[in-house]
Amino acid sequence: MAPTKTVVVLGAGVAGLSLAHFLVSRILPEQPDLRVVLVSPLTHFYFNLASVRFVLPGRGPPMAEDRYLFPIAERFAGYPHADRFRFIAGAATSLHPESNSVTVKPNDEAKEEEIAYHTLVIATGTSYAGGMPWKALGSTDQTRAAVAQLQSQIGSASSIVVGGAGATGVEFSGELGAAYAKKGLKKITLLSADPLPLEPRLKDSVRQTAKKELEKLGVEFVGGARMVSVTPAAGGSGSSSDKDKKDIAIEVTSADGKTKTTKTVTADLFVPTYGVVYNTSFAPPSMHSPASPGRLLQDPDLRARGHRNVFVLGDAGSLEPAQAVTAEAQARHLMKQFRTYLAGGTIETYYTPAKDKVMFGLTVGPDRGTGQVGTFQPPSLLIWWLKGRYLGTNHAANYAAGIGSSNGAWPK
């Protein structure tokens, strides 16, 4: 039977790639009229969760690339029904839900392609402004080059200022502190717009713990600091010579919030960890959330608001905080519901208010960490055991291969 239904998955991150593997390995054998198209600008799955560690050059060779970059197409070649799977290395440029079609621009072709879909899954995730490799860039080659450049800059700098004290900024500063500041090799400074690091939604005790752990690693934390300018522009050579040093103007607000002063911090390298961009510009404005700019409206069953054959997973959606753990949970839920959905049945609700419970863990260097589960603050040793030892690289290959994760295999 020739395929008559096409499921298009946009994005090959934790959610999109996992779902595509599930569809090809579990659903295609049962549905001879179905085919799957996976679209991603990257030819490789990029395990960015460990980027705060593998961008450090270290004393020896950097972390091997095959621990965080995995070819996508070859992971699908061995499936029995691979002839009904297509991988397009490219990006969506426009979505037309009224005609059930999406326009895709392949990386290696000048001409765009219109793809009709029976079902669309948007899992396009986020990227970072300024070409920082905390998330994938526009292509695998660009991502690879950005990692190499940052490794070189860190290696040559004797003083580094990290801008932004969210989870990425804290984890990256912790890695720098453990590798360099604690040993007196480099001066590391972390700038935070808030008086404490991390998000205000977390308990103050969790945020205080992160600050104390950073300071134990020799990282200077400057709270209430807003970066005004970097001269010359950030992203230079990273050389430690005086002529290449950067003057970073920051505005510091007093603890009582009544006074503001401007001062200049001089460093060889400024590394921003802010500027998240949601990769959803291809979607029509009507699908975007007014309350969460850049994110797409999701119903509690993970469908796009007003579109019964369009699902949104992970960072692209507005239901939950943009975290890998929520992207994986949403992908798992849709896997469990997909057979029912294709049969025209009622799929179960994913999101309830109970899911607003905080689930958060981060490392502060390779040996310490902090987090929050509900109102409970797990001990540092537990965070280290679950996350800090490998930052997920011990099971990154499983994501790429469609086997599952540390939480277990994907649903059958």
Q: Look up the pTM and report it.
A: 0.92
Cα–Cα distance for residue pair 396/178, rounded to 1 Å: 24
- Domain 157-275+360-387 = CATH 3.50.50.60: yes
DSSP 213-233: HHHHTTPEEE-SEEEEEEES-
First CA to last CA distance, the chain: 24
Q: Which residues pair with 88 in a beta bridge?
A: 39
Domain ranges of the chain: 5-130+279-351, 157-275+360-387
Cα–Cα distance for residue pair 189/161, rounded to 1 Å: 5
Query: What type of residue is 88?
Result: I
Same topology, domains 5-130+279-351 and 157-275+360-387? Answer is: yes
Q: How far lies 395's CA from each of 330, 339, 380, 405, in Å? A: 19, 27, 21, 6
Cα–Cα distance for residue pair 75/73, rounded to 1 Å: 5
Please identify every stretch of the chain with a pLDDT value under 70, giving residue numbers as ranges: 1, 58-62, 233-244, 354-355, 404-409
Is residue 46 exposed (0-12), middle (13-18) or buried (19+ Cβ within 10 Å)? Answer: buried
The fold for domain 5-130+279-351 equals FAD/NAD(P)-binding domain (3.50.50)
Overall residue count recorded for the chain in this entry: 412
